[in-house]
Amino acid sequence: MFRRSALAAGIAAFLAGPAIAQTQITIQHALPANSHTGVGPAAIKEVFERLTNGRYRVVAQRNDNEREMVESVQIGTIDCTFTSTGPVGNFVPEVRIFDVPFLFRDTAHARGVLDSEIGQQVLGRFSARGLHGVIWTENGFRHLTNSRREVNLPADLRGLKVRTMENQVHMRAFTVLGALPTPMAFSELVPALQQGTVDGQENPISVIVANNLNQVQRYMTLTNHVYSPSVMICNPGLMQRMTPADREHFMTAARAAQRANRDRVTQDDANGVELLRSRGMTVVTTVNTAAFQEALAPAFAEWERSLDAALLRRIRDWR
């Protein structure tokens, strides 16, 4: 039955004219489809397939191992990924500058810098590493959760085993704050929290909500300790094979993805605290930010030396 209708469709297509060669683009992203990371590939699919009259077919897949996704894009076994910058600095070191704690004052500051020539300049660095940086999206400001105690001050972090991303800058920050950072892929996080391998973790509200981390974490503190960018990265070959007109359509789709992603983060941030409280979490909303910044002073001094100090200043001074 299926075969016969497929055959009939094939004949109809043949009679209608030359078959259109369809190019498939596979895009991987972390987290569930219905999340701020899932809406990015969904927007690319909707907009790019429409603008290219179906000459391209976009397939979105979930993969909670972000390092693996970047490697796959580099090798070319998948075409693109939306990934947090968590592991990206290990491929493109210049990206680490955006992972510095308390660098961005607020969302508008972060989005503004990433959309400015500063963001473009860093995207331009991807090509030397066999990657094509397409556009900045976001994860949002990260907060701390744990299963042990209410965290109000840096001293409350002492001895706490905290899962971090596989990110040098974040790991250093948690070490300096007195915690015991344990880097691992997101795919390993829930089992590690369940088994008590780690006591806590840090992620934006959007991630905590989308993955029900409230089921394995009791306490949350709105530390806002670091803005977590994400980025759409593609295999350079994919971009080179596109006609200039299709590349423009691709960028139109990427901008739609960026809007969808940012709108969803804004929405999650607005509703998230109430939602997580209703799911039983104890949420500390008033945080002595200055105390955390002061505790990080030795790390800030190191980053002034190991990262581009002039660029750090430009980002901080950005208005």
- Interface residues toward ligand EAX, by CB under 6 A: 30-31, 37, 66, 84, 86, 139, 165, 186, 203, 207, 228
Calpha distance 31→174 (Å, rounded) = 24
User: Whose Cβ is closer to ligand EAX: residue 165's or residue 169's?
Assistant: 165
User: Whose Cβ is closer to ligand EAX: residue 49's or residue 209's?
Assistant: 209
CA distances from 216 to 151, 156, 200, 277 (A): 16, 19, 9, 14
User: Whose Cβ is closer to ligand EAX: residue 192's or residue 295's?
Assistant: 192
Question: Please, what is the minimum distance in Å from the beta carbon of residue 85 to ligand EAX?
Answer: 9
User: Whose Cβ is closer to ligand EAX: residue 26's or residue 206's?
Assistant: 206
For residues 208 and 37, the answer to whether their CB atoms sit within 8 Å is no
Question: Please, what is the minimum distance in Å from the beta carbon of residue 185 to ligand EAX?
Answer: 7
Where do we find the tokens 């999650």?
268
User: Whose Cβ is closer to ligand EAX: residue 70's or residue 97's?
Assistant: 70
Question: Please, what is the minimum distance in Å from the beta carbon of residue 62 to ligand EAX?
Answer: 11
What are the tokens at 117?
Answer: 């020539």
Calpha distance 160→156 (Å, rounded) = 8
Question: Please, what is the minimum distance in Å from the beta carbon of residue 69 to ligand EAX?
Answer: 10
What are the tokens at 205?
Answer: 């509200």
DSSP alpha helix (H) spans, 65-106: 66-75
Question: Please, what is the minimum distance in Å from the beta carbon of residue 135 to ligand EAX?
Answer: 16
For residues 307 and 301, the answer to whether their CB atoms sit within 8 Å is no
Question: Please, what is the minimum distance in Å from the beta carbon of residue 126 to ligand EAX?
Answer: 18
* Ramachandran angles phi, psi of 134, nearest 5°: -90, -55
User: Whose Cβ is closer to ligand EAX: residue 52's or residue 206's?
Assistant: 206
Query: Strands, DSSP E only, in the chain?
Result: 23-29, 56-62, 80-84, 132-146, 161-164, 180-183, 200-204, 219-234, 282-284
